[in-house]
Structures are given as structure tokens and as C-alpha cells.
């Protein structure tokens, strides 16, 4: 059997314009540059086409393309390219996030290498240094996005610190402040003692770490009470012990005081329903300044909050522990308690969840601090209502409950950061305690004693404005009028709470109840082939740039999209990427074959009644696949899109239709001309359907095939019901079954692809394919029976078709006996199961007649198979 895309042909005069092999490196950069020069990625707000908008989740200016980016960008690009082909005014807007902590850390490390700190430069000079770094070294990911094929409107690139977005930040801050939705207060926040700033929840990574659980006795005698803690050093800041009000063990102690060991202070025992009486001893120490739950207890009971550590997590309480780092203080406090006879129990190691700074991995310290907060209650409710009332759809739908679990229980958001790089909080303080919030068009207070707040805003604050600030808000721009709300947000479920919900809150607030996007399409995390999270420590991180170097951008994209089931994690492997590269090569060879055989896209397709059954079959299959791909795209089922196109392209077009068309093409005449037109039409539509996922190879092939300007501007294929032909599909399915069964037999026997075998075919007329006998023999390498023909093997095919083969001198008799024995065992099992059901009087009496009839048919088929197999075994040579 020859390769289905073998380019040998009798029509050798047709040039194809394609190299003998596909080399992605020779195509990708050239094609991408031509798209940018042609302005194909741009969008016109004055267009009368319906809008389709995606704003890119802005990557950090410090970042480089990792597999998660490549995956997410592939999905966005596919949606964007398809909509453009469907006639939409499609805008995919690019940009980057200033990444406050990450970027400041990068520049501070550069200064440290010179023996300097940011304080040596001062704020103004340091910020200038960061801008200089951004201009020289930041944004490497933008060039990598080009390599991947991102069809973004580069002329609209935005940055969260550019002038327009800075104006948007000041505007919304002022509005929220005036509406009393932004306030300043002392609250417990996540604090990084290394980065010296507050952190948002998204910037804290939790892991199960080994620590110790120490049980400490407070007080003595009948008034003693035992508490357990993993952070013994924080007991220096305890201001109460809390128990549940219904806990009989401690009811007599509620309202009394107990002495706090090592300090001499007396603290109250309070009743609070927050305490779980089933956990530990049922009594908890309360340190309001160093634990968020304890802070809430402290607020309810009007307890003092004692800060016992400074910003670097060094103990500040006067006494023997003063000046010790928290990790030095912990064993020192335990040792002192042990010496005082206060340790009741110690459990080591004790595994518990610990938060770490996502940037520097330092353990986060809960800390009472004066910070700026967004009052999220009304904003979060609006964000929940927008999904509940259908203005915003979440795909997959079952992710909505996770969204509601967050927005319905959202805490106020700490938005201030103790950094120099970022949007500085637009609040000024006066010499007499005045506080003035300044909008972008307001004049800031000046004079002696006035100064601006030193903090900057959380990076996520400006990112929350991204869907509308990038379109010109707060100005009422043509872009904003045309392209807002955006059509779909493609993002990972892991930031559903932290970014998506915040964009929803700010979008609805700033845009008078208009949602920032119509659909939230959530995807999972990219993992290795075993489903394991990619991590440098595991040694399983895959660099998409490496895959693009070796296999091409299209192969990388197809591998990622083929695993993209909504909301589910995506396993990938190099082997799968190699398979995707082979798929691109298959398309290349098929198109090259078509061109060398004169395939054309010129003129109308011939009417169905003038086409062969093979041509009608492939056109019918094309309609089904087109409809399926359209439906799956609408539901963000990228994996199903890729599977449908892969199997249609490889199995049906290349492995069947190309092979079936070869005899027709070599025969010439009107039939060949009609097949050339059908072949060109099928490949034209197939390349269009594949273009959103694999843009480079499809662009190169489509232009070679059609002579068109670019496939990006070719209309998206639409299924034509008039070309669906059930009879042709049924007829070709029967033909395929015969050929497949013979090929399977040949493979089992180890026959060479070119080796001919004599065979008699009977029963083809039973399924209406007797007219295809010559074609079946050609595809199966079967010769007509010779004068001395002896059937030594018989293959039974559905529909009563039999293929008797003369295998003398061509097969391994022992292997064939083993194969037939395996088939016989399967047929005997099937027959036994059917007889058991039919012998069961209760089953026969209660089951519907069609079900019983089907069992009888299965039994008959199994018995026929057993008779055939017995005959085949009998016919095999004895040696």
C-alpha cells in the first residue's frame, strides 16, 4: 500500500510551487511579517461589520512566553481568526502589565549587583531606572507572541502604566473614593518581609510545610487552659484566649482572666462562636495584630491589637526576644516555655498550610497595617448579578458555582502596596490632618506640609480596568463605542476569583452596568503527559519556544488546542507535538499532490448528479465536519474541533479520498476534471477550517492552491445541506470496511505493502458496491483468482461480503492460525452471552421485542462467524 499522499502522478506537467518538504522556519516569519504589513490584524471602529473583541490578559513586562501563555494565546487567536473570516470586525488588543513587585525586584537586583539600593537613588531616579529597564529589556514576550502567530492589533498595544491607562486609574479611584467605596483603615493584610509590601491573595502561594505544633498551658490549677499553636513566638502579642460559648469544659472560665506566660500580662478568656470546640483543645490564643481570624475576634470583643514584629518580621517586644527574627524567636520562646514548665505537648513535624510570596517565596506574615481598601460588597453583588441574569455566560457552565462562591463571600480588597513602581495613590495629606483625593483633572494641593501618599496601587487594580481603559475610557472614544463590551475573555480558572471578578466589578461600575465581556471562557492548566503540574523542581517544564524551534509554531499550537477541553487541565508531551508536526507535513504533501495533479478552485462545483459516488461522499463528509466544527467552536470545545479536523484531514481526505481519486486522475477525461475540481474545493475548505488553529502552514498552502491574497480574508466555510449525500456515505463506508479488513489481515500476516495476493470477492452486491470491485482490488493489492486458485483464508465482512484469499507462500500459517483462534474465542464468547440471555425466560418475557430480536441477530452473526472461522482454519495448509 502506498502513502495516501504519494505525489507520483501521470500529470507531471503541473507545477506546484511548493518545496518537496515543509520547513516551518522558512515559512513562519515570512508569513507573519506579510500579515503585519498588510494590516490584516487591525480593526476599524467605523466599520459596519459586527464587532468581535478580545483583550489579551496582559502578560507581565518581565515575563517570557511559557506553555501557559502559548496555550491561552492559541485559543484566543483561533477565536479571533475565525470571527474575522466570518465577517466580523475583529479586534484582539495586545498589551502588558507593569507587574509592580516583579519589575521592582528585577531592577533592585541589578542595583544590588552594583552595591546600591533603591534608597541610594531616591524614588524619582529609581522610577526613571525602571522605565529605562522597560525600554531596554522589558517586553521580550511580545516578540515571542509573534513567533506563535498572535494576530493582535499591534498599533493598539497598551501598557498599564501608559498615560491613557494612568488617567483611567486616577478617574476610577476618585469616583470610588467619592462614593465611599475606597477607604483607609488598619486591617490584617498579607505582608512579605522580603519585598516589604502588602500582597493580594493572588500573590500568595500556599503549600503544606513541615512545622511544629506546640501545646501551651496558660494559668494554673482550676484556671489553667491549654492552647495549641504552630507559631509560638506570636504568643507575645496575645490579648485573649477564646472558647466556644457552649463548650461545657470552659464555661466556668468565660469572663475570667489568665496570666500570659513569659510576659506577666493578664488576658481575658472570651466566648466566641468562631471557635471550633472539636479542633485541638477547643481553646485558641487570640493575637489580633498577627492573624486575620484573631483580628475579627478582637474586633468583636474590643480587644487591643499588639504588633510584636516590625516590617522585616523581627520581634520588637522589649525583653529577651527583642531583635530576633521570627524563625530565631520561635525556638527561643518554646525553650523558655519549656523551662517554665508551660509546654504540655509538642508535635514535630506537623504539616500545615503556609502562605509564601509568589515572587520571592518568603513566608508571608499576617500583619496589622494601615492600608487602602476597596469596599467590595455592592461591587461584588453586581458582579454576581451579571452572571445570574445572563448578561455574562461562564463556559463551562459548571464553573459558575465557583465564581459565585467567591463573589458572594468577597472580603474587602487591600489595594495599597509599599512599592515605588506603580500607580501612586492619588491622595494628598495636609499639615493639619487633611486628606484630599485628586482626580486626573484636579490640581493637587501644594504648600508646606502637603505630601502625596507614598504607596502605589496593587497591579490588579489597573488590570481590573483593562477591558475598557484600553479602549480609551474615561473618554467616550469610537473604539469604546464599537468594541465594548468585549466578546469573550479567555483565561485560566485559577484567576477566576482574583482578576476576572475584579474586572467584572470595575467594568459594571465604570460602564453604568454594562458588563466587560459577554462570555468568560475558562481553561485549565497545562501539565505534563502524566497530568503532573509543570515545575522546575520536578524537571518537567516544557519551553514552547523550544518546540517552535524544533517542530514549528503550528505543531505547538495544534498540540495545545487538541488538549483544550473547557475548564479541564491540559496534558502535553513532546511525542504529541511530533505527531502534530507530522499532521502539518501530511497536509503539505496532500496539497502538493493535488497541485501536481491539476486540482483547481476555479469555477462552480459540478452538480451532484454529474459526480462520482466517491466525489459525492467526500463533499458530504465535508459538510458534516464543517457543521461539527462550527458547533464546537461556539461552545469553546477546541479539542473537539481539532479531533474532527484531524481525522477528516488525515483519515478521510488523505488516506481515502486521495487514494480513491488516483485511478480517476490517471484515467483523464471529464471524470478527472470533475475530481480535480472536487479535490481543490475540499482542500480549499479544509485549509480554511484549519487556519484558526494552524495559521502558517494553511496560509502557505491556501495561497499556493488558490492564488488568493491571504486565507485570513477568505470566507469561513458554511455547511451546504444540498451536498449531504447519505447514500454515498453508506456506500463508501461499506467499501472502506472491506478494504480495512483486508489491510488488517495483510498487516497481521506481515505482508509487504507491494505484495499482491489472489482473492475472490463475493457478496459485494449485497451492499451495492459491486461496481467498485476494481477499486477495492487496487486499494487492497488483490489480484483476480488465477487458474490454480485455492482459498486458504476467508475474511467475512459485515453485510455478507466474503474475501477468499490464496495465501500459499505468502503468509505465516502459524500466525494466521493464532489470529483465527483469537477470533474464534471472541465469537464463542459472544455466542455464549447471547444464548444465556435467550435461554433466560424472564428476560425474553420482559424485554421489548426489538431488544430480543437484536440479541437473536447477534447470535446468528456469531454463529456465522464461527462457521467462517472453522472453514478458514480447515483451509489453511498443514505446514
Estimate the crossing angle of helix 574-596 against helix 553-562, to 10 degrees.
120
* Binding-site residue positions: 536
Which residue, among 293, 258, 261, has the nearest Cα to 274 in the 3D structure?
Answer: 293
| Contact of 103 with 134, CB cutoff 8 Å | yes
Angle, alpha carbons 469-474-478 (nearest 5°): 80
Residue 52: all three cell numbers together = 468581535
| Contact of 571 with 564, CB cutoff 8 Å | no
3-state secondary structure of 783: strand
Which residue, among 6, 153, 172, has the nearest Cα to 94 in the 3D structure?
Answer: 153
Q: Outline where 750-790 has alpha helix (H).
A: 773-780
| Contact of 642 with 693, CB cutoff 8 Å | yes
Which residue, among 60, 62, 128, 63, has the nearest Cα to 95 in the 3D structure?
Answer: 60
Gap between the Cα atoms of 249 and 226, Å rounded: 12
| Contact of 503 with 466, CB cutoff 8 Å | yes
Residues in the chain: 879
280 Ramachandran zone, left/alpha/beta (phi>0; psi -120 to 50): left
Q: What are phi and psi of 56, to 5 degrees?
A: -70, 135
Gap between the Cα atoms of 335 and 253, Å rounded: 28
Strand partners, 300: none
DSSP 714: S
Which residue, among 494, 474, 501, 284, has the nearest Cα to 382 in the 3D structure?
Answer: 501
Q: Rg of the chain's alpha carbons, rounded to an integer?
A: 36
| Contact of 559 with 75, CB cutoff 8 Å | no
Q: Which helix (H) or strand (E) holds 148?
A: helix 140-148
Gap between the Cα atoms of 399 and 387, Å rounded: 11
Gap between the Cα atoms of 125 and 219, Å rounded: 56
Question: Which segments within 244-342 are labelled E, that is strand?
Answer: 257-259, 266-271, 283-286
Q: Which helix (H) or strand (E) holds 839?
A: none
Angle, alpha carbons 72-74-77 (nearest 5°): 110
**Torsional sign, CA 137, 141, 145, 151:** negative
* Binding-site residue positions for ATP: 536
Number of other residues whose CB lies within 10 A of the CB of residue 208: 9
Report how many helices (DSSP H) and strands (DSSP E) the chain contains, helices first: 28, 29
Cα separations (Å) of 878 from 414, 758, 788, 813? 85, 20, 18, 8
| Contact of 785 with 774, CB cutoff 8 Å | no
Dump the DSSP string for 468-523: HHTTTTTS--HHHHHH-SEEEEEEEGGGIIIIIHHHHHHHHHHTTT--SEEEEEEE
Residue 831: all three cell numbers together = 455466542
Cα separations (Å) of 91 from 155, 479, 706? 11, 10, 27
Gap between the Cα atoms of 157 and 827, Å rounded: 65
Gap between the Cα atoms of 413 and 570, Å rounded: 31
Amino acid at each position: 500500500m502506498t502513502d495516501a499522499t504519494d505525489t507520483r502522478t501521470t500529470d507531471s506537467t503541473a507545477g506546484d510551487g511548493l518545496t518537496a518538504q515543509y520547513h516551518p522556519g522558512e515559512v513562519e516569519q515570512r508569513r507573519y511579517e506579510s500579515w503585519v504589513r498588510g494590516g490584516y490584524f487591525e480593526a476599524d471602529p467605523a466599520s459596519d461589520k459586527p464587532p468581535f473583541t478580545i483583550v489579551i490578559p496582559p502578560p507581565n513586562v518581565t515575563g517570557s512566553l511559557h506553555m501557559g501563555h502559548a496555550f491561552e494565546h492559541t485559543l484566543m487567536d483561533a477565536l479571533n481568526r475565525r470571527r474575522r473570516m466570518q465577517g466580523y470586525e475583529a479586534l484582539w488588543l495586545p498589551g502588558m502589565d507593569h507587574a509592580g513587585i516583579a519589575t521592582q525586584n528585577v531592577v533592585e537586583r541589578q542595583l544590588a549587583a552594583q552595591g546600591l539600593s533603591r534608597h541610594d537613588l531616591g524614588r524619582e531616579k529609581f522610577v526613571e531606572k525602571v522605565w529605562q529597564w522597560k525600554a531596554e529589556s522589558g517586553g521580550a514576550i511580545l516578540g515571542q507572541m509573534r513567533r506563535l502567530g498572535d494576530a493582535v492589533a499591534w498599533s493598539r498595544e497598551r501598557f498599564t502604566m501608559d498615560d491613557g491607562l494612568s488617567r483611567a486609574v486616577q478617574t476610577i479611584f476618585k469616583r470610588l473614593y467619592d462614593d465611599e467605596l475606597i477607604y483607609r483603615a488598619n486591617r490584617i493584610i498579607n505582608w512579605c518581609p522580603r519585598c516589604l509590601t502588602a500582597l493580594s491573595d493572588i500573590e500568595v502561594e500556599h503549600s503544606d510545610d513541615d512545622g511544629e505544633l506546640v501545646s501551651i498551658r496558660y494559668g494554673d490549677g482550676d484556671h489553667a487552659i491549654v492552647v495549641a499553636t504552630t507559631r509560638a513566638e506570636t504568643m507575645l502579642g496575645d490579648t485573649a484566649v477564646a472558647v466556644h460559648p457552649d463548650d461545657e469544659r470552659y464555661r466556668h472560665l468565660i469572663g475570667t482572666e489568665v496570666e500570659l506566660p513569659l510576659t506577666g500580662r493578664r488576658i481575658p478568656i472570651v466566648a466566641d462562636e468562631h471557635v471550633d470546640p472539636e479542633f485541638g483543645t477547643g481553646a485558641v490564643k487570640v493575637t489580633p495584630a498577627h492573624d486575620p481570624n484573631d483580628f475579627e475576634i478582637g474586633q468583636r470583643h474590643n480587644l487591643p491589637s499588639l504588633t510584636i514584629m516590625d516590617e522585616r518580621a523581627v520581634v520588637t517586644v522589649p525583653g529577651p526576644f527583642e531583635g530576633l527574627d521570627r524563625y530565631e524567636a520561635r525556638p527561643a520562646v518554646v525553650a523558655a516555655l519549656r523551662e517554665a514548665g508551660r509546654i504540655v505537648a509538642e508535635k514535630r513535624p506537623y504539616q500545615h498550610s503556609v502562605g509564601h510570596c509568589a515572587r520571592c517565596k518568603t513566608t508571608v506574615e499576617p500583619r496589622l497595617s494601615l492600608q487602602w481598601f476597596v469596599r467590595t460588597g455592592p461591587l461584588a453583588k453586581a458582579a454576581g448579578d451579571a452572571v445570574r441574569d445572563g448578561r455574562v455566560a461562564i463556559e463551562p457552565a459548571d464553573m459558575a458555582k465557583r465564581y459565585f462562591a467567591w463573589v458572594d463571600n468577597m472580603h474587602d480588597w487591600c489595594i495599597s502596596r509599599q512599592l515605588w513602581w506603580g500607580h501612586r495613590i492619588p491622595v494628598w495629606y495636609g499639615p493639619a490632618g487633611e486628606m484630599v483625593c485628586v482626580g486626573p483633572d484636579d490640581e493637587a494641593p501644594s504648600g508646606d506640609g502637603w505630601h502625596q501618599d507614598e504607596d502605589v496601587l496593587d497591579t490588579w487594580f489597573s488590570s481590573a480596568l483593562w477591558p475598557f481603559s484600553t479602549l480609551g475610557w474615561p473618554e467616550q472614544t469610537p473604539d469604546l463605542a464599537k468594541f465594548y463590551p468585549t466578546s469573550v475573555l479567555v483565561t485560566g480558572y485559577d484567576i477566576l476569583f482574583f482578576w476576572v471578578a475584579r474586572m467584572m466589578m470595575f467594568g459594571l461600575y465604570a460602564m453604568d452596568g454594562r458588563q466587560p465581556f459577554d462570555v468568560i471562557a475558562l481553561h485549565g492548566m497545562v501539565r505534563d503527559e502524566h497530568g503532573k503540574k509543570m515545575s522546575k523542581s520536578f524537571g518537567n517544564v516544557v519551553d514552547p519556544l523550544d518546540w517552535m524551534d524544533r517542530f514549528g509554531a503550528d505543531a505547538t499550537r495544534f498540540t495545545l488546542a487538541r488538549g483544550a477541553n473547557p475548564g479541564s487541565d491540559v496534558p502535553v508531551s513532546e511525542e504529541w507535538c511530533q505527531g502534530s508536526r507530522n499532521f502539518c507535513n501530511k497536509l503539505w504533501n496532500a496539497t502538493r499532490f493535488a497541485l501536481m495533479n491539476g486540482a483547481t478552485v476555479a469555477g462552480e462545483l459540478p452538480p451532484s448528479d454529474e459526480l462520482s459516488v466517491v466525489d459525492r461522499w467526500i463533499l458530504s463528509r465535508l459538510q458534516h465536519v464543517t457543521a461539527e466544527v462550527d458547533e464546537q467552536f461556539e461552545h469553546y470545545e477546541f479539542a473537539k474541533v481539532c479531533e474532527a479536523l484531524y481525522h477528516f484531514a488525515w483519515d478521510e481526505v488523505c488516506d481515502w479520498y486521495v487514494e480513491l481519486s488516483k485511478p480517476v486522475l490517471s484515467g483523464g477525461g471529464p471524470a478527472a476534471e470533475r475530481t480535480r475540481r472536487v479535490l481543490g474545493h475540499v482542500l480549499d475548505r479544509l485549509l480554511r477550517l484549519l487556519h484558526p488553529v494552524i495559521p502558517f502552514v494553511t496560509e502557505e498552502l491556501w495561497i499556493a492552491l488558490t492564488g488568493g491574497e491571504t486565507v485570513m480574508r477568505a470566507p469561513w466555510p458554511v455547511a451546504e445541506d444540498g451536498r449531504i449525500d447519505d447514500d454515498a456515505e453508506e456506500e463508501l463506508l461499506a467499501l472502506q470496511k472491506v478494504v480495512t479488513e483486508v489491510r488488517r489481515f495483510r498487516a497481521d500476516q506481515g505482508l509487504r505493502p507491494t505484495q499482491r495476493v489472489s482473492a475472490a470477492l463475493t457478496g459485494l452486491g449485497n451492499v451495492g458496491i459491486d461496481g467498485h470491485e476494481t477499486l477495492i482490488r487496487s486499494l487492497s493489492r488483490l489480484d483476480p483468482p488465477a487458474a490454480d486458485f485455492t482459498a486458504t483464508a476467508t475474511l467475512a465482512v459485515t453485510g455478507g461480503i466474503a474475501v477468499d484469499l490464496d495465501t500459499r507462500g505468502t503468509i505465516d500459517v502459524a500466525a494466521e492460525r493464532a489470529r483465527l483462534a483469537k477470533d474464534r474465542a471472541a465469537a464463542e464468547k459472544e455466542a455464549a452471552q447471547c444464548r444465556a440471555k435467550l435461554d433466560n425466560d424472564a428476560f425474553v418475557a420482559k424485554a421489548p421485542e426489538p431488544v430480543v430480536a437484536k440479541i437473536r441477530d447477534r447470535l446468528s452473526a456469531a454463529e456465522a462467524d464461527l462457521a467462517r472461522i472453522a472453514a478458514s482454519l480447515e483451509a489453511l495448509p498443514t505446514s
